[in-house]
Amino acid sequence: MILPLFLSPPSPCTKFSSTRRLLQRSNANALPNAHMRLHDDLLINGYYTTRLWIGTPPQRFALIVDTGSSVTYVPCSSCEQCGRHQDPKFQPDLSSTYQPVKCSIDCNCDDEKEQCVYERQYAEMSTSSGVLGEDIISFGNLSALAPQRIVFGCENMETGDLYSQHADGIMGLGRGDLSIVDHLVDKGVINDSFSLCYGGMGIGGGAMVLGGISPPSDMVFSQSDPVRSPYYNIDLKEIHVAGKPLPLNPTVFDGKHGTILDSGTTYAYLPEAAFVSFKDAIMKELHSLKPIRGPDPNYNDICFSGAGSDISQQSSTFPAVEMVFGNGQKLLLSPENYLFRHSKVHGAYCLGIFQNGKDPTTLLGGIVVRNTLVFYDRENSKIVQKCHLPWLLLTNNIMVFQMKRKLDK
């Protein structure tokens, strides 16, 4: 689970350009996309990764796609406090196109005032710090987007989950000068949007597109307020269980940042009042199931047995859940969007929505958008979602694009 807790001061590199963005809008139809596959699984790994290639010649990395982080970083060869990950550390000396980002008034500098540095701390208390460098980043052979020079973090230290995880690092899709999305938009090479589509329970993987797509006309959307928060927030007002609204004041979802949609977080977390009401409403609907202990004795998971193993058949057992936004639109959550399989009991499931301690923040992680296309329309400050759209839709688009490339050769 990766959730930013502290935001670092502004870092270098690109500055917002209204002229550039206006020009980019006028050329929107001509801009390419970066189509990329997603790997791993929410329950097994706790995250989804994609592949990026950095340097000349390219060095491959498996990075967690994280809308809650604004920096992309990988372990550097000089890092003595980095864990053992999926791929070898990045070796700047082996890349003919690597350049360090020199110290300036726009960034945090190292003690010698020679190079820009970054530092990130996350809610589970893991940390990442290192220097900033610039190099050629490639998006794979499925992408129509050519390799681009991008600023990224070269880690000198990592702790906690970042140290122990299998993935190499983080692909920061959040808002901010160091975000890979902001870099590409500021260069005028993609539209100001991206899409994520996670595979459903038992499927894993998925697809991602950097740049614009043509979303289905019947998608549900919510406004997102970039002025209020650096995170991707949505205007959640109500939650319905089995067609009945939870007896809550709508302001319960209106914490400091609003309701945050974070792809780097595994589960969903509600403020105390909302969680208690949600849990009670769910349990009232599950008379035929037996409450059991969770798979990990260290946690008080709420689990039930007797539901059967086929998640596609669970809508007749578990109630429908709807999220209602400020504009009146509703997003339907099927059972796989709020449950995870019990790892030790066949046919048992546990709630994947938890209380966020005493924190008033509502945080919606990857479980809520499994088997759902999420279109981050940053230009229009909207987040658009399509219920139960199989991730194969984007994957098929990738396959069609790949076939077209072969035919064009």
Residues that are catalytic: 66, 262
Please report where in the chains the tokens 């790892």 appear, as a residue.
343
Give the Cα separation of 183 and 174 in Å (integer). Answer: 11
- Under DSSP, the state recorded for 188 is T
What are the respective helix, strand and coil percentages of the chain, to the nearest 5? 20, 35, 45
Query: How far is 389 from 336, CA to CA, in rounded Å?
Result: 13
- Is residue 331 classed exposed, middle or buried when 0-12, 13-18 and 19+ CB atoms within 10 A define those classes? buried
Report helix, strand or coil for 100: strand
Q: Which residues contact 191 (CB under 8 A, 6 or more apart)?
A: 24, 28, 31, 185, 211, 212, 379
Angle at 277 between CA 67 and CA 45, to 5 degrees: 35
Biggest alpha carbon distance in the chain? 66
Reduce the DSSP state of residue 337 to 3 states and report it.
helix
Distance, in Å, from the CA atom of 260 to the CA atom of 236, rounded to the nearest integer, reads 9
Cis link prior to 291 (omega < 30° from 0)? no
Extract the tokens encoding 135. 């190099």
| Contact by Cβ (8 Å): 32, 145 | yes
Q: At a CB cut-off of 8 Å and minimum separation 6, what does 395 contact? A: 37, 197, 206, 207
Residues contacting residue 66 through CB under 8 Å, at least 6 positions apart: 2, 47, 170, 171, 172, 173, 174, 262, 263, 264
Contacts (Cβ under 8 Å, ≥6 apart) of 406: none
